[in-house]
Amino acid sequence: MEYRKLGNTDLALSAIAYGAFAIGGTMWGGNEKKDSIEAIHAAIDQGITTLDTAPFYGYGLSEELIGEALKGKDRSKVQVLTKFGLVWDGSNNGKGEHFFDMQEDGKTIPIYKFSSKANIIKEVEESLTRLNTDYIDLLQQHWPDATTPIDETMEAMEALIKAGKIRAAGLSNAAVELMKDAGKTFTPASNQVYYSMLHRDIEQELVPYAIENKIGLLAYSPMERGLLSGKYFENNQLKADDHRNGYFSQFDLKKVESFLTGIRPIAESKNATLAQLVLRWTTLQKGITTVLAGARNAEQAIANAQAMQFDLTTEELAFIATELNKF
């Protein structure tokens, strides 16, 4: 495994991080606790020291599973990353920015973006309890909240660093302008952003800005929630409540399948899967500190880590770029 310094912090993150969205179960057709714990353990055993979660993932369940999995582990050897700012329990009393509505067991649950100082401090204490730890390595604003001034949000995170509750503070899903505004109060260490072979918008402005200002970029959804693994085209049976039924409809699936067929020989030449090739490609892109890869069982976690066991030549990267430019 390769480890990379995060921005101007003293944190070193594994190039592949464990993304814990799916093990929360919500929006992913449920989860299996035993498999989830084993996946986290396998990831750590393979050198994946960076675990990324959020309170929203399973309404706290994802954080709880990580907390349970880390019992007996050397906490100093693992970086726990979590977030704040998505409220589902009504504790915001209608404040914040309405994001969307979740449908759970016939009930409508409104989700709000809410990043006030008081809410951040409240959420951090709740996360610390669920994670069974006394500090968070990187705390991130999950989504920008238009109703709360960014300086209030950054001041809260700076205070949490001084209090020893968190080691570093970052943003997520933030555009360059918001990053600039945030930096007027407290320079964020990172920005967690949507980035994949099929979604490369950040390359235009965000990546150059992050590189220039030494801000780490954490790439999420590099596999497009499993689409780029190629498995969907082999067996596209998804559970009825799996959100990917709608998510995949945004893509020209015939073009995606053709693209994957075109790059498959590169994966085969490395004795690797398509998923591993996609992950490795993502780790090699400019400005990317770490790439989040989800795993719902030990086998998937091990496979993700093994994506770092091969490299890509200049010629192979150029071929992939040519194929991507056909989209």
pLDDT tens for residues 77-87? 999 999 999 99
Is the pLDDT at 243 greater than 90, yes or no? no
Within a domain: residue 318?
A: no
Token digits of residue 275: 């998923």
Is the pLDDT at 117 greater than 90, yes or no? yes
- The count of domains in the chain is 1
Residue 130 confidence (pLDDT): 98
57 catalytic per annotation: yes
CB 160 within 8 Å of CB 120:
yes
From 3, 18, 57, 232, the catalytic residue? 57
Residue 25 confidence (pLDDT): 62
| Phi-psi group of 7: left, alpha or beta (phi > 0 → left; psi -120 to 50 → alpha; rest → beta) | left
Helix axes 253-269, 274-283, angle to 10 degrees: 90
Q: Which residues contact 132 (CB under 8 A, 6 or more apart)?
A: 67, 68, 70, 71
Within a domain: residue 290?
A: yes
Position 30 confidence tier, pLDDT thresholds 50, 70, 90: low
Within a domain: residue 317?
A: no
CB 300 within 8 Å of CB 39:
yes
Digit-coded pLDDT (tens) for 145-192: 999 999 999 999 999 999 999 999 999 999 999 999 999 999 999 999
d(CA 245, CA 239): 8
Q: What angle do CA 137, 185, 93 make, to 5 degrees?
A: 75
Within a domain: residue 151?
A: yes
Is the pLDDT at 308 greater than 90, yes or no? yes
Within a domain: residue 259?
A: no
Among residues 54, 67, 70, 68, the alpha carbon closest in space to that of 22 is found at 54
Is the pLDDT at 24 greater than 80, yes or no? no
Within a domain: residue 158?
A: yes
Within a domain: residue 67?
A: yes
As a whole number, mean pLDDT of residues 298-304 equals: 96
Residue with tokens 């979740």: 102
Output the domain CATH number for residue 62.
Answer: 3.20.20.100
Position 27 confidence tier, pLDDT thresholds 50, 70, 90: low
> Which structural domain, as residue segments, surrounds residue 117?
3-249+275-311
Token digits of residue 282: 């993502």
Is the pLDDT at 136 greater than 90, yes or no? yes
Position 28 confidence tier, pLDDT thresholds 50, 70, 90: low
Within a domain: residue 320?
A: no
